[in-house]
Structure 1
Amino acid sequence: MLTTPVIVFLILLIAKTAMERRLSSLNRKEVLANKDAVPAVYRDVVDDETYRKSVDYTLAKNALGKIDTFYEAIVLALIVCTGFLAWLYNSLTAVLGEGVWGQSVVLFLVLIIIGLPSIPMDWWSTFKLEAKFGFNKSTIGLWITDKIKGFVLGAILGIPVLALLLSIFNWLPVSWWFWGFFTFFILQLLLMVLYPRLIMPLFNKLSPLEDGPLRDRLLALGERTGFSAQTILVMDGSKRSSHSNAFFTGFGKFRKIVLYDTLIEQLEPIELESVLAHEIGHYKKGHIPKTLLIGFFTGLGGFAVMGWLATQDWFYTNFGFDPHSGMAPVLLLFMLISGLFTFWLSPLSNRMSRKHEYEADAFARKTMQDDPMPLIKSLHKMYEKNLSNFTPHPKFSNFYYSHPTLLEREAALRQEPAES
């Protein structure tokens, strides 16, 4: 039965899906409009053959993305609107019980089961699309092993956290959302500490930089910037993909900078130094605490909404649940539906992220004796090697890109720094 809340859910789902497909169409048209020749601004960056390959790769990802968007929308609509979600929850509850641990296992299993339809698309993306363009280095065995590890890790970490949240709901039925959020946030901080130490090594080998000129150069950079270079690790990303990257993880004395082995192969030492300077810039500019602060308030808002929904019988009944079944259905529905709202906030979060990227770029330029070229050259190479989209539509990049485009970053880097 299509009740008013279910109709609202469908309207939001259709609106999100329509916007995603519209953005994909705009991006496709922009890429096609520039497909015949390398744009003048990129002629010194990429050759004709690589550019055409990047166009083909972008169009292939765009086509798969459109299919995936529609597929996910259909699956979500069927799960929520046919009563399947409530039926699955009730069936598992009948077996596992209504206790805290039983309900936490129920929630975990429901999330796993409703996530199964995404597996074929993931397989196609890895072993068809990525393999076609020479990026995939994974094997079926490794891919399956990763899925199993993810399942086991999710159970080990997720079930106790869910049990703790459900217990807080039972102990503090009125203010559970407030204390539940603080508990969840503290656990997130703990996970940030444990992730590079315990979780990442389960999937990838992390090694300190080997002795040599590159290590000496990066150690010197660490000394100049007050950042311990012993926290720089090399990850064997090449065993899964030839894509390259570098990222910052953790905070405080638990911070780590991780460089893909593919990135080390692709860039010259001075270019790697500029990339590392950029990552150090995120630390020096306080981007991690700022991101955590925003996450704190958005997370608190999300838990407050769940706290209110847990008091609304109509929210349970309209989606097929018993109003007296506690917090579990609210948590489940919130995880499935909240994305229909947060999607529209993507441009705002990306805007903040891009601001941070500009600041980290500026820090890298200053650190490299005010020379923008090492970082510019590294960006050129990363775009070329990763077959990145050189001509994204502005609306598409605003919605989906957490980093400025290549042209935007290069223009900012080439600007003369303001007098201080």
Structure 2
Amino acid sequence: MESTNLWVWVAGAVLAGRLGAEWALEALNRRHLRQVAGCAEAGGSEGSGRARALAYAEARSRFREIELLWETALLAGLWLTGWLARGWEAWQQVVGTGVWADAGFVWAVFTGASVASWPLRWYERFHLEERFGFNTTRPRTWWADRAKGLLLGTVLGLPVLVGLLGLMRWDPAGWWMWGWAFVVAVQWAVSWLAPVIILPWFHRFSPLPEGPLRERLLTLARRIGFRLADIQVMDGSRRTRHSNAFFTGWGRFRRVILYDTLLAQLASEELEAVVAHEMGHDRLRHWQKMMVGSALGLLAAFAVAAYAAQVPSLFRAFGFPGPEPAILLVGLGLWAGPVSAWLAPLIHACSRRWEFAADAFAARVLGTAEPLCRALERLHRENLMNLPSHPWYRWVHESHPSLEERLAALTRAGRGPAPAGDRSSA
């Protein structure tokens, strides 16, 4: 078998293997969820809540299958049919060559792939999420978000692409080390500036009003040594009824962000527990570890790209005359998802471990796990996430432990009350 044909078969196997494995997991998880919901109803639990959570989980699972099929078809269409190679040839004939022209092609491919997913995103927001009462986004807001995203991708992404292509021309052998350092620096800069430049462009933020809750959270931050610029409320309800809390930024830009939907759902003690959990991630240096892990993963990706640049048969297999820096970047971006999917279990295992640690941190600094237990139960119920996934599915896909696992971990540590019956549906 010729090497060019071998690369096509490898690409097809990666795509088909991922699609088949993901679909099998989705089917396995749906069967498991039906069994869990059926057992809960037979045991006298609140069947209506479980039934609605099951319907939501199944709808999300079916949507995920369609999403995977669409992503697979898009990649197969671009690479295995020669469309990308013909597009590259036409682009050079019309636009020309050079760093900026090549960067424009890469940007156009990434933008086209993003726009191609818009029908799925629209269906997800205005049909799936609408069906279960979560959507509050107006079509005008949705389209404005898409336009802002495109503009932001152009302003930030195009210069990065130009910089990478320039480095590839400047140092063909060692570009990948320089390029890695450059991209990591950009990522860190963006994460530093996001709270004051990027996020306010999409959402409205206001300081948490003066009062007992604000003082309670500020006192918590001082007690555990969490450097905090402000506590702000985000208008999450303009887009969804889902709730969340997170912190973002570095140094004097660091902020704790609370969804306004979260404030409406939880009592003060429960909000304090959720914020303590988020602060625990920082005090235990989970965010720093995540950034280092991301940087190492990116380094490995750039090293693989550097190797691929030395394999002419890889490019010829997909219709290109030889190694092309722009095509290398396109491949790096488009194939990152299917390839990294096989590493997801390792990444999510670390994330779940950190969630357990942050839960324990919150219970320790508050002296009790009871508010955190109540908050977790309420959030899982409100977000229709109170059905535990199949262990294999959770191992591959989920960055958080199940509600039962989190409550059991706190109970075993003697920091919280034992769940009374089926707490996940309380």
TM over 0.5: yes
* Percent of aligned pairs with the same amino acid: 37
Aligned to 2:365: 367
Aligned to 2:398: 401
When residues 9 and 412 of structure 1 are mapped into structure 2, their CA distance, relative to the original with a 3 A threshold, is same
1:384 partnered with 2:381 = yes
Does 230-239 or 119-128 show the bigger shift?
230-239
Partner amino acid, structure 1, of 2:110: L
TM-superposition CA deviations, 1:71-96 (whole Å, max 9, x none): 22122211211111112222223222
Asked if the contact 2:237/2:260 (under 8 Å) is kept, the reply is: yes
Matches of 1:231 and 1:93, distance apart in 2: 50
Matches of 2:300 and 2:148, distance apart in 1: 32
Aligned to 2:349: 351
Partner amino acid, structure 1, of 2:185: I
Look up the SS of the partner of 1:392 in the other structure.
coil
Deviation of 1:180 (Å): 0.8
Deviation of 1:232 (Å): 2.2
Look up the SS of the partner of 1:161 in the other structure.
helix
1:162-173 equivalences under 5 Å are: 162-173=161-172
Deviation of 1:59 (Å): 1.0
Aligned to 1:72: 71
Deviation of 1:111 (Å): 1.2
TM-superposition CA deviations, 1:216-235 (whole Å, max 9, x none): 11111112111245432211
Asked if the contact 2:348/2:397 (under 8 Å) is kept, the reply is: yes
When residues 200 and 7 of structure 1 are mapped into structure 2, their CA distance, relative to the original with a 3 A threshold, is same
Partner amino acid, structure 2, of 1:316: F
Partner amino acid, structure 2, of 1:30: H
Of 311, 324, 330, the residue aligned with 1:332 is 330
Look up the SS of the partner of 1:378 in the other structure.
helix
- Structure 1, unmatched stretches of 5+, are none
Does 226-235 or 359-368 show the bigger shift?
226-235
Aligned to 2:34: 32
When residues 293 and 40 of structure 1 are mapped into structure 2, their CA distance, relative to the original with a 3 A threshold, is farther
Deviation of 1:208 (Å): 1.5
Matches of 1:194 and 1:251, distance apart in 2: 8
Of 407, 411, 423, the residue aligned with 1:414 is 411
Partner amino acid, structure 2, of 1:393: H
Deviation of 1:37 (Å): 5.5
Aligned to 2:87: 88
Partner amino acid, structure 2, of 1:185: V
When residues 115 and 16 of structure 1 are mapped into structure 2, their CA distance, relative to the original with a 3 A threshold, is same
Asked if the contact 1:278/1:361 (under 8 Å) is kept, the reply is: yes
Does 135-144 or 59-68 show the bigger shift?
59-68
Look up the SS of the partner of 1:207 in the other structure.
strand
Does 95-104 or 240-249 show the bigger shift?
95-104
Aligned to 1:201: 200
Partner amino acid, structure 2, of 1:209: L
TM-superposition CA deviations, 1:349-373 (whole Å, max 9, x none): 001111111111111001111x111
Asked if the contact 1:78/1:84 (under 8 Å) is kept, the reply is: yes
Matches of 1:95 and 1:382, distance apart in 2: 54
- Structure 2, unmatched stretches of 5+, are 416-426
TM-superposition CA deviations, 1:177-226 (whole Å, max 9, x none): 01110011111110111111111111101221111111111111112111
Asked if the contact 1:104/1:166 (under 8 Å) is kept, the reply is: yes
Look up the SS of the partner of 1:234 in the other structure.
strand
Matches of 1:249 and 1:93, distance apart in 2: 41
Deviation of 1:36 (Å): 3.2
Aligned to 1:135: 134
When residues 288 and 400 of structure 1 are mapped into structure 2, their CA distance, relative to the original with a 3 A threshold, is same
1:52 partnered with 2:28 = no
Aligned to 2:309: 310
Asked if the contact 1:244/1:260 (under 8 Å) is kept, the reply is: yes
Partner amino acid, structure 2, of 1:173: P
Matches of 1:225 and 1:324, distance apart in 2: 53
Asked if the contact 1:236/1:260 (under 8 Å) is kept, the reply is: yes
1:117 partnered with 2:119 = no
When residues 356 and 42 of structure 1 are mapped into structure 2, their CA distance, relative to the original with a 3 A threshold, is farther
When residues 212 and 91 of structure 1 are mapped into structure 2, their CA distance, relative to the original with a 3 A threshold, is same
1:12 partnered with 2:14 = yes
- RMSD, matched Cα: 1.9
Deviation of 1:40 (Å): 9.0
Asked if the contact 2:227/2:254 (under 8 Å) is kept, the reply is: no
Matches of 1:160 and 1:332, distance apart in 2: 15
Partner amino acid, structure 2, of 1:18: G
Partner amino acid, structure 1, of 2:232: L
Look up the SS of the partner of 1:89 in the other structure.
helix
When residues 42 and 359 of structure 1 are mapped into structure 2, their CA distance, relative to the original with a 3 A threshold, is farther
Matches of 2:303 and 2:44, distance apart in 1: 48
Matches of 2:186 and 2:61, distance apart in 1: 36
Q: How many residues align?
A: 413
When residues 417 and 229 of structure 1 are mapped into structure 2, their CA distance, relative to the original with a 3 A threshold, is farther
Asked if the contact 1:309/1:315 (under 8 Å) is kept, the reply is: yes
Asked if the contact 2:234/2:260 (under 8 Å) is kept, the reply is: yes
Matches of 2:378 and 2:105, distance apart in 1: 47
Deviation of 1:389 (Å): 4.5
Asked if the contact 2:36/2:387 (under 8 Å) is kept, the reply is: no
Partner amino acid, structure 2, of 1:50: G
Runs of 4+ in 1 over 3 A off after TM superposition: 36-43, 251-254
